Structure 1
Amino acid sequence: MTRRELLLSLSAAGAVAPLAYAQGNTTMRYTALALQTVCDAVNQDATIEDAHARMDRAIARVRGQIGSAKGFLKGFNGYDVKLVVLPEYWMTGFPLGETREEWQNKAAIPMDGAFPDKLAKLAQIFGIYLCSNHYETDPNFPDLYFQANVIYGPSGDVVLRYRRMISLYTPSPYDVWDKYLDTYGEDAVFPVADTEIGVLGSVASEEILYPEIARMHVFKGAEILCHPTSEVGAPTLTPKHISKKARAVENIAYVVSANSAEIIGTPVPSASTDAMSIVLDPYGRTLAEAGSGETLNANAVLDIGALRETRRKTGMTNTLSRLPNTAFASGYAGANHAPANRTPNGQMIERAEAIAQQQAVIDRLAAAGILK
């Protein structure tokens, strides 16, 4: 592809579309990139050593892609790339037939160690906030792994660690709720990071379908919702794609959503997850959206000053200021159909047991008259 063709493709994707609402009073503007990159899955690897070598290659590939995006986009629109969101489980793919213990050993990285150090180094080298979704272990829960959105800052420090709360098959903090709160406290459940590029929050994958997840982060001040995902690409709107727009509108927030370019190395057709990486403004409008394949086209300039000005305006569109939260409180408090502590002993459960527990919740909803 020539430079001219690339410029045209970026323009067609909306990457250079101007913000359509009033510019803010500050100069807090920068480029955010939802990097649509291939996931080379470790399911094909017979040994832990082979899987970790493949993960190292993924880091090296993404390092080159971020570096080229930094250089090209600064020259293209004049704004530095300061936020990069990677797709869901971009280093490993997802378990296909492996037991939970096998996947923990093969694909989950520690909170501290060689792999997180390499991710932190990427953020440090390029002076960016880097949002990575990966599986990780935790010494406080040695028999489990979690799917985490971890944001590394330009200093190399972890500025945010969010563990996916809603997951059918992967362990979540809600499964060991009492111990998790005792260990980390409530502030760690829906964390945000107040940074020089705005207040960052994160949503994992299909959690974009649940308005409560995004809202909990926004209630703590989140202005940009980083959304690593690996989802079915389609030429029409999908439930997740609709939900991304809804989360932006109802929270007056930017959404930066990165999808896999494809997943190779599994029996699943590789392009089943492809395209649809997107950057949305606080009105749910598309600033940039990627087509298929590995691409940096899902990038846009975020104007945090304009967002803050919008959130402070009166009028019907200021949804955050008009929420009658007290009216919802009793309804949420009484709707304990999916109770916490699914695995109170901190042990792994397999897929069949997870499905059986879901069926029990559906039965309770039916018994309560919620489902007919």
Structure 2
Amino acid sequence: MLVKIGIIQLDIHLGEINRNVNYALSNIQNMVEKGVRLIVLPELWTSGFDYKHLEKIAETTPKILQEVQQIITANTLVIGTLPEIKKGKLYNTAFLIDKTGLLDFYQKSHLFTPSGEDKHFTPGKKAVVVTTHLSKIGVLICYDLRFPEIARCLTLKGAEILAISAAWPLERIEHWRILLRARAIENQLFVIAANASGTQNKIKMGGHSAVISPDGTCLIEADDSETILITEIDLKRVYTFREEIPCLKSRRPEIYNV
């Protein structure tokens, strides 16, 4: 099954919700017109890590999700993370929506302590695979990429695609590029990764959003500037590659307990 994929690599202006949202919505609409069926946005794409105002910004999240829903078609899926308040706690939440509304959500489970994320956000407690009309999609957020356990968990839950929203810094961009390919190769699925560009809190974001095939081939990759990517993937490749090299069938979980 051929699916057209879009990534919006956004130069997220810290706290400038109108600017960020207008840019994203304009590009979502353009992608929909071009037949893109899965669109992935970076981490906290409406505001960036504007820690002083995140709780207030979270109040805008329902309205923004509605605005996205209004401009997409029945066969379009959109994934990106926004701040969310739930039962008095702040979460970094990836929302997967289509024309009907919210399909599912994933709350970031690995918080990046060196930057103080754990002082502001509550970690999620569940790995999420969303069954859609396109594919089974597992969702990761930024620092989650460094943990092969959660990617493998999503694979064993049936994921054919890993969608990753991130704000990964330029300083460690080679880690990002290597880990994207590693997660794709070891789990034999497509990785669709949207990173931020620009600067947040004096930290230069790394860009290099990419789509990686199940055999580790990079199908498309950005540089570090604000841009959009569009490419096409063949979901059948997940299963043909798993048959060629049956890593998942060769697993021996009885010796992996650590």
TM-score between the two structures when normalised by the length of structure 1 = 0.63
- Structure 1 residues 126 and 65: CA distance shift in structure 2, 3 A: farther
* Residue 250 of structure 1 pairs with residue 186 of structure 2: yes
Counterpart in the other structure of 2:255: 327
Counterpart in the other structure of 1:62: 24
**Equivalent pair of 1:109/1:116 in contact (CA under 8 Å):** no
CA RMSD of aligned residues (A): 2.2
Counterpart in the other structure of 1:300: 231
Counterpart residue type for residue 133 of structure 1: T
Task: State the 1:248 CA deviation.
Answer: 0.2
Counterpart in the other structure of 1:17: none
Instruction: Work out the number of aligned pairs and report it.
Output: 251
- Structure 1 residues 191 and 326: CA distance shift in structure 2, 3 A: same
Deviation per CA, 1:203-222, whole angstroms, max 9, x where unpaired? 10111010011111111101
Counterpart in the other structure of 2:93: 148
Instruction: Report the 3-state secondary structure (helix = DSSP H, G, I; strand = E; otherwise coil) of the residue aligned with 2:249.
Output: helix
Counterpart in the other structure of 1:260: 196
- Structure 1 residues 156 and 40: CA distance shift in structure 2, 3 A: farther
CA distance in 1 between counterparts of 2:217 and 2:233 reads 13
**Equivalent pair of 1:121/1:156 in contact (CA under 8 Å):** no
* Residue 103 of structure 1 pairs with residue 54 of structure 2: yes
Question: In the TM superposition, what are the counterparts of 1:108-257 in structure 2 within 5 Å?
Answer: 108-109=58-59, 113-122=62-71, 124-125=72-73, 127-138=75-86, 141-142=87-88, 144-153=89-98, 155-167=99-111, 168=113, 169=118, 170-174=121-125, 189-233=126-170, 238-257=174-193
Task: State the 1:267 CA deviation.
Answer: 5.1
**Equivalent pair of 1:208/1:214 in contact (CA under 8 Å):** yes
Deviation per CA, 1:61-95, whole angstroms, max 9, x where unpaired? 21111223344xx4xxxxx3101100111111114
CA distance in 2 between counterparts of 1:196 and 1:267 reads 38
**Between Structure 1 and Structure 2, which shows a larger proportion of strand residues?**
2
**Equivalent pair of 1:279/1:299 in contact (CA under 8 Å):** no
Deviation per CA, 1:205-253, whole angstroms, max 9, x where unpaired? 111010011111111101011001111236x962222111110001111
**Equivalent pair of 2:32/2:76 in contact (CA under 8 Å):** no
**Between Structure 1 and Structure 2, which shows a larger proportion of helix residues?**
1
Counterpart in the other structure of 1:20: none
**Equivalent pair of 2:192/2:210 in contact (CA under 8 Å):** yes
CA distance in 1 between counterparts of 2:153 and 2:208 reads 25
Counterpart residue type for residue 127 of structure 2: F
CA distance in 1 between counterparts of 2:50 and 2:19 reads 19
Task: State the 1:56 CA deviation.
Answer: 3.8
Point out where structure 1 has 5 or more consecutive residues left out of the alignment.
Answer: 1-27, 43-53, 75-79, 175-188, 332-372
Task: State the 1:39 CA deviation.
Answer: 0.6
Counterpart in the other structure of 2:210: 278
Between the aligned residues of both structures, percent identity stands at 21
Task: State the 1:198 CA deviation.
Answer: 1.1
- Structure 1 residues 318 and 110: CA distance shift in structure 2, 3 A: farther
Task: State the 1:131 CA deviation.
Answer: 0.3
TM-score between the two structures when normalised by the length of structure 2 = 0.88
CA distance in 1 between counterparts of 2:220 and 2:177 reads 13
Point out where structure 2 has 5 or more consecutive residues left out of the alignment.
Answer: none
- Structure 1 residues 109 and 160: CA distance shift in structure 2, 3 A: same
Instruction: Report the 3-state secondary structure (helix = DSSP H, G, I; strand = E; otherwise coil) of the residue aligned with 1:299.
Output: strand
Counterpart in the other structure of 2:221: 289
- Structure 1 residues 136 and 267: CA distance shift in structure 2, 3 A: closer
CA distance in 1 between counterparts of 2:201 and 2:239 reads 46
Counterpart residue type for residue 39 of structure 1: I
